[in-house]
């Protein structure tokens, strides 16, 4: 589905990677917004929704499709004017420390920067780069994890 999938701690919504553009408006497939709308992204990798958004509900609303550069120094500046923004570099990715909380996905999971504990339940464990992932399960009846959590 199009629209919000989470919110950053500064209140800016996060959208999924799709941009609501599809062949003849059929909605069978949608374009990758990060790739196709990159020229319209600002220095924080955000932009306002186009005027023809889904149902017109998102028209003009500022949002992100990816990790905003304003939270990190790890991004590539999109133009020379980006160096003028005081919001950039709110944190610097440190491979020796857990990254800060950036926001929450609507399924309740926290969104962090790129480094986290090797064992999420043990803050004394080592630090490693967090990798986005999912796990499939070979089940037909849910006997554990009733709310869909992993």
Length of the chain: 150
Mapped onto helix, strand or coil, the DSSP state of residue 9 is coil
Residue 115 structural domain: 4-129
Would the pTM count as exceeding 0.95? Answer: no
Q: Which residues contact 28 (CB under 8 A, 6 or more apart)?
A: 22
Using the structure block, give the residue that is written with the tokens 């550069």: 69
Give a yes or no: residue 52 inside a domain: yes
- Nearest to 149, CA basis, from 110, 103, 101: 110
Q: Is residue 43 part of a domain?
A: yes
- Does 138 reside within a domain? no
pLDDT digits (tens, 9 = 90+) for 30-56: 777 777 777 777 777 788 777 654 555
The structural domain count of the chain equals: 1
Q: Is residue 139 part of a domain?
A: no
Tens-place pLDDT, residues 69-121: 656 554 455 555 565 544 445 567 788 999 888 889 888 888 888 889 999 89
């Amino acid at each position: 589905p199009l629209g919000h999938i989470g919110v950053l701690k500064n209140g800016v919504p996060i959208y999924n990677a799709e941009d609501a553009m599809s062949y003849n408006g059929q909605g069978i497939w949608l374009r990758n917004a990060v790739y196709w709308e990159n020229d319209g992204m600002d220095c924080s990798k955000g932009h306002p929704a186009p005027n023809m958004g889904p149902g017109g509900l998102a028209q003009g609303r500022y949002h992100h499709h990816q990790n905003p550069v304003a939270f990190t120094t790890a991004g590539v500046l999109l133009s020379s004017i980006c160096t003028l923004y005081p919001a950039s570099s709110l944190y610097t990715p440190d491979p020796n420390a857990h990254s800060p909380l950036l926001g929450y996905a609507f399924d309740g999971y926290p969104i962090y920067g790129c480094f986290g504990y090797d064992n999420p339940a043990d803050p004394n464990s080592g630090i490693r780069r967090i990798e986005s992932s999912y796990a499939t399960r070979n089940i037909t009846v849910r006997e554990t994890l009733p709310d869909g959590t992993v």
